[in-house]
Amino acid sequence: MALLQTNGLTAHYGDFQALFGVDITLEEGECIAIIGANGAGKSSLMRSLAGVLRQDPEMVVLDGQPIGSLHADDIVARGISMVPEGRRLFPSLSVEENLQIGAYRSNGSGSWDLDSVYAMFPMLKERRKTPGNALSGGQQQMVAIGRALMSNPRVLLCDELSLGLAPVIIRDIYAALPEIRKAGASVIVVEQDIGQALKVADRVYCMMEGRVTLQGKPGDLSREAIHKAYFGVGE
Amino acid sequence: MIWVDTIVQGILLGGLYALFAAGLSLVFGIMRLVNLAHGDLIVLAAYLLLVIVTMLGLHPFVAALVATPIMFAVGYGLQRHVLNRVIGPDILPPLLVTFGLSVVIQNALQEGFSADSRRMPAGSLETASLPIGPVTVGVMPLLTLFTAIGVILALQWLFYRTSLGRAFRATSDDPVTASLMGIKPQRVFAQATGIAMIVVTIAALYLGTRSNFDPSIGPARLIYAFEAVIIGGLGSLWGTLAGGIIIGVAQTLGAAINPEWQILAGHLAFLLVLLVRPRGLFPRATD
C-alpha cells in the first residue's frame, strides 16, 4: 500500500478547474518530483495534498485513510507538512520563532527539533533573532524547510524550492534532501527545473493543463518524451 | 503647582482610557477587526459585575474574578459563532455586524436594567488617597494606571513569550500559511477575542467603580478607546497606553482651562496627532 496517493483528484478555483483526475502515488521513503510548466497544476496538486484546497475524502489517501476533506491544520497533525511556494515566512516572527511555530502541533517525538535544524543549516542559528523576512532568499528557503521539518512529517511537500534562487544556493538547498530522507520523511518535490528534479527524484510525474502526461523513473524517460509531456509538442 | 497636579491627574485618567483601548488594540492587531461594539461590551461587563456584586454580595474586585471566565466565554463564542463568519478581505461586514451588536447590547441592557445610572461600591478605596511629592493622588486612579500597565505587560508577555502569542502573530501575518503549521485560525481568533474580553472585564471594573454607568455610555467609551489606539499606532500595545495618557492629559488640561473644554480637548489632541503622525506614534512596521 502506498504511503500517500491521489485517486482521480480534481481541484477548482470557483468555476475554473485546475486539476482533472490526477493519480499519483508516493511510497514510504520515496522522493518523487512533479514537473511541469507554469499553470500545469503542480501547485494546485500540492495545495490539495496539504489541505489548503479541500476535496472529496477519498481523493487523497494517507496510509489507507481518506484525508481529502480535512483542513490544512488537521493534515499537518496527520504527518504531511509543506514548504510553500515563495517561502511565506511570517514577518512578525524571528527566524527561531518561525521554526518554533512549525512545531505548533508536534508532540515532541521525532528527530527534528531546533538543534537538528540548526545543525543542518548552521547559518540560521547565527541569525536566529533576525526577522524572517530580513534574510536572503536562500536563507528564507532554509527557514521554510526547517519550519516544515519541525512538525516531524512523514511526508514533506516542497513547492518550487528553487524559485528565484541562484544556482549555487539551489545546490545548497537540495544538498539537505538526502539528510531529510534519511531521517524518515518521504518527499514530493515540485520543480520547474527539470534537470534538478531528475537528479533528486526516484520517480517523476510530468503535468500539463491539470493532468499527468508522463510518469516514470528518471533513467527510463527520454529527453524527447519529457519535452513532449512538458510543453505538449515534440522537440 | 496646579499644572503638575493637572498633568498627574491626566496621566492617571489615561490609565482608564488605555484599559478601554487595550482590548480593542488586541483584536485589531490580530484580526484587523474594528469592533464597534467594544464600548458596549465594556458596559455589558460592568452590568455583569454589578449583578455578581448584588447577588453574591462580593467586593467588585472579587466579582471581577468570577466575571472573567464568563466574559472570556462570551468573547470566544461571539467570535467563533458570529464574527468569524464575517471576517474577510471586505471590512464592511464586520463593521455592520458589530454596529448591530452594539445596538442589541444597548437595548437589551436597557430592557433588563432600565436607563437609570448605576455604580458599584468599592468601599474605602473610593476615597483613599496618597501624597506623592507635591501632589495627592487617589488610590483608585493610581490602581487603574498600574493595572493598565500590568495588562499591557501581560499582553506583551503573551504575544512575545508564549506559543499562543506566536500563533497570534503568525495568524495575523498570514492565516493560510499559519494553517499549514497546524494552527486553526478560527480558534486562534476566538481565543484572542476571549482574552480581549478579559481585558474588557478589567476595564469594566474600573469604569463601574469610578463613575456612574448606564446602557447608553458604550459608544463614548468606544470613541476614547479608538482615539487611544489610533494615537498609539494601530496594533501597538505600548502605543495604546501612550495614546490613552495623551487623551487623559489633554482632557484634564482642557478642563483646567475651562470645564466645558474637557472632552473637546481630548478630541483636539487626537486630531493634532493625526495631522502630525497619520499612522500614530508607534505604528507597526508591517501595517
Mean pLDDT within A176-203: 91
Contact (CB, 8 A) for B119 and B208: yes
Q: What angle is formed at CA B141 by the lines to CA B138 and CA B143, rounded to 5 degrees? A: 105
pLDDT of residue B1: 66
Q: Which residue in chain B has the smallest CA separation from A92? A: B169
Q: To the nearest whole angstrom, how far is the Cα of B240 from the nearest Cα of chain A?
A: 19
Contact B170 A102 (CB under 8 A): no
Q: To the nearest whole angstrom, how far is the Cα of B79 from the nearest Cα of chain A?
A: 19
Contact A91 B286 (CB under 8 A): yes
Closest residue to B167, CB basis, from A77, A82, A101: A101
Q: To the nearest whole angstrom, how far is the Cα of A18 from the nearest Cα of chain B?
A: 19
Contact B163 A104 (CB under 8 A): yes
- Bridge partners for A207 per DSSP: A36, A212
Contact list in A for residue B174 (CB cut-off 8 A) is: 88, 90
Is 50 exceeded by the pLDDT of residue A190? yes
pLDDT in tens, A157-179: 999 888 888 888 888 889 999 99
Mean pLDDT within B256-269: 94
pLDDT of residue A193: 84
Contact A73 B174 (CB under 8 A): no
pLDDT of residue B185: 95
Nearest to A150 by CA among A88, A120, A188, A106: A106
Is 70 exceeded by the pLDDT of residue B286? no
Is 90 exceeded by the pLDDT of residue A234? no
Is 60 exceeded by the pLDDT of residue B211? yes
Contact list in B for residue A102 (CB cut-off 8 A) is: 181
Closest residue to A90, CB basis, from B170, B182, B184: B170
Contact list in A for residue B166 (CB cut-off 8 A) is: 93, 97, 100-101, 104
pLDDT of residue A233: 67
Give just the sign of the alpha carbon dihedral B253, B259, B260, B263: positive
Q: Chain A: which residues have CB within 8 Å of chain B?
A: 50-52, 71-73, 76-77, 81-82, 84, 88, 90-93, 97, 100-102, 104-106, 147, 151
Judging by DSSP bridges, how do beta strands A186-191 and A155-159 pair with one another?
Answer: parallel
Which among A54, A88, A97, A104 is the top mutation candidate for probing chain B, defined by the most B β-carbons within 10 Å of its own β-carbon?
A: A104
Cβ neighbours around A228 below 10 Å, total: 17
Is 50 exceeded by the pLDDT of residue B287? no
CA gap B221, B217 in Å, rounded: 7
- Bridge partners for A208 per DSSP: A211
pLDDT of residue B126: 86
Contact B184 A71 (CB under 8 A): yes
pLDDT of residue B284: 67
- pTM (predicted TM-score): 0.90
| Structural element, H or E, at residue A146 | helix A137-149
Contact (CB, 8 A) for A159 and A43: yes
ipTM score assigned to the predicted complex: 0.91
pLDDT of residue B13: 95
Q: What angle is formed at CA B121 by the lines to CA B42 and CA B51, rounded to 5 degrees? A: 55
Contact B286 A92 (CB under 8 A): yes
pLDDT in tens, B104-153: 999 999 999 999 999 999 888 888 999 988 889 999 999 999 999 999 99
Contact A104 B183 (CB under 8 A): yes
Q: To the nearest whole angstrom, how far is the Cα of A74 from the nearest Cα of chain B?
A: 6
Mean pLDDT within A17-37: 94
Q: Please, which pLDDT band fits residue B172 given cuts at 50, 70 and 90?
A: very high
| Three cell numbers, residue B153 | 505587560
Q: Please, which pLDDT band fits residue B257 given cuts at 50, 70 and 90?
A: very high
pLDDT of residue A108: 73
Contact A90 B173 (CB under 8 A): yes
Q: Is A93 left (phi over 0), alpha (psi -120 to 50) or beta?
A: beta
CA gap A218, A197 in Å, rounded: 9
Contact (CB, 8 A) for A54 and A69: yes
CA gap B6, A154 in Å, rounded: 65
Mean pLDDT within A189-210: 91
CA gap B102, B108 in Å, rounded: 10
Contact B183 A73 (CB under 8 A): yes
Helices (H), chain B: 2-31, 38-56, 60-81, 92-113, 139-161, 163-173, 175-180, 185-210, 218-232, 237-257, 262-276
Q: To the nearest whole angstrom, how far is the Cα of B192 from the nearest Cα of chain A?
A: 17
Phi, psi of B58, deg, nearest 5 = -90, 155
CA gap A72, B182 in Å, rounded: 7
Least confident range from B60-74, B122-136, B189-203: namely: B122-136
pLDDT more than 90, % of chain A:
73
C-alpha R_g of chain A: 17
Mean pLDDT within A25-53: 94
Q: Chain B: which residues have CB within 8 Å of chain A?
A: 163, 166-167, 169-170, 172-174, 176-184, 286
Q: Which residue in chain B has the smallest CA separation from A47? A: B180
